[in-house]
Structure 1
Amino acid sequence: MQKLAIVLGCVVLFAGALFLDTYFEQQQVEQLQRSSIAKSEANTTEEHVPNTELTLLNGQTKQLYSLKGHYVLVNFWATWCAPCLEEMPELLSLAQHKEELHLVLVSVDEAHHAIMPFFEKLGLTEAVKAQNVHLVTDADQQLAQLFQSFKYPESYLLTPTMALQQKFVGKVTAKGILKALK
């Protein structure tokens, strides 16, 4: 009888944790839609992400809006994130085949020196040097806060006008991105 009570207790705790995780994730999505994305003056049906400065891994800076005219996938990731490790080769392969898609790979790692060894370990050092791949550092997580990205990986597909087209929570596939692009 005592074992049954323990098992039932564990099931209830697990179900409660799952519910809370789902609830808070939905709250984050709703808050992002309400607060971080400004309505476009030209077209009030599209929600545009704000322009922001991106700090590239090489120390240079770039404005997010400099990528206007292209589809942009902003991907928040970390070197310690197992799903990030799994999705990165597929994302970079997609970028090689769809040059009109720009990848903004935002590392939330505190240690910048861990980023390139991550790509070396995966055999992707050449892929991250492509013109449509932008390695961005966000150690202070200001960009992650702007996008309200708190779980990794998370990706945001932006239209050529910088409107938010779709948010992907968790590992994203090339198939999912291609479907969203249609």
Structure 2
Amino acid sequence: MYKKVIGFGVLIVLIALMITNYIDQQKVEEEESNLYDVTGDTGAQGAMISSGDTTGIEVGETAPNIELETVDGETFSLTDLRGKKVILNFWATWCPPCREEMPEMQKFYDEHKDEVEVVAVNLSDTENNLQDVPDYISQYGYTYPIPMDKEGTVASAYSVITVPTTYFIGTDGVVQQARKLGPMDYEFMEEMVEALN
């Protein structure tokens, strides 16, 4: 009888452990499924960084100026790029879709940098460690400008709530295409830039 009671007790403990493990696994899967769908739009991909105004800078509005230090320690000003078309991207090292699009952005930059500037503003206030940014850039050899938004002021001015987010700015400094939420590929960048003046 004593062996049956012990056996029954062990069986109860094992069942309880299985149920607890199952519940924990469900929570992890739910959290992972929310890594990309942060907008409620099943077509959008990105990672949420903050709440706020979701409309962003509208087509036809002048892009707010950006004055930040780059990852290389240089001063960057968006107004210095007037006369060039600009792809203005917002990203973070912890964002998988950002990592996905960055090689495409480098390829586009390498082939079009004479007429189009690719700028990738790092949301440095969301990084775990600021050193992650130069380490990541160096590891993959990205050469386009990387301004560091250490206070989150530029992300706020552009109403960036998901990353990556990209704006397309014409030679006149005006946003000329609807912003893109989620990763871009080379063909998409070509299409957007062709429509800029």
Q: Could you say whether these structures have the same fold, taking a TM-score greater than 0.5 normalized by the shorter chain as the test?
A: yes
Match for 1:173 among 155, 177, 185?
185
Counterparts of 1:19 and 1:83 in 2: how far apart (Å)? 13
* Residues 100-154 of structure 1, C-alpha deviations (whole Å, 9 max, x = no match): 11111111134321112213333x2xx41xxxx2111012211111111110111
Q: Distance in 2 between matches of 1:54 and 1:19?
A: 28
**Match among 45, 48, 57 for residue 32 of structure 1:** 57
Higher relative contact order (CA 8 A, sep 6+): 2
Distance 1:50 1:103 in 2: 16
- The list of structure 1 runs, each at least 4 consecutive aligned residues, that deviate by more than 4 angstroms after superposition, is none
Unaligned runs of 5+ in 2: 1-32, 45-51
The structure-2 alpha-carbon separation of the partners of 1:92 and 1:19, relative to structure 1 and needing over 3 Å to count, comes to closer
Superimposed CA distance per residue, residues 52-73 of structure 1 (whole angstroms, 9 cap, x where no aligned partner):
3122123332321100111111
Residues paired across the two proteins, number = 146
Distance 1:115 1:19, change over 3 A: closer
- Mapped contact 1:112–1:137 kept (Cα < 8 A): no
- Against the structure 1 CA distance between its residues 82 and 164, is the aligned structure 2 distance closer, same or farther, given a 3 Å change threshold? same
**CA separation of 1:163 and 1:75: change in aligned 2, threshold 3 A:** same
SS in structure 1 at match of 2:161: coil
Counterpart of 2:132 in structure 1: which amino acid?
Answer: A
Bigger radius of gyration? 2
Normalised to the residue count of structure 2, the TM-score between the two structures is 0.66
Equivalent positions of 1:24-63 (< 5 A) are 28-30=53-55, 32-33=57-58, 46-63=60-77
1:80-159 to 2 correspondences below 5 Å? 80-99=94-113, 100-109=115-124, 110=127, 111-122=129-140, 124=141, 127-128=142-143, 133-159=144-170
1:55·1:62 contact (CA, 8 Å) conserved in 2?
yes
Structure 1 residues not aligned, in runs of 5+: 1-13, 38-45
Separation of aligned partners in 1, 2:61 and 2:57: 11
Secondary structure at the aligned position of 1:144 is classed as helix
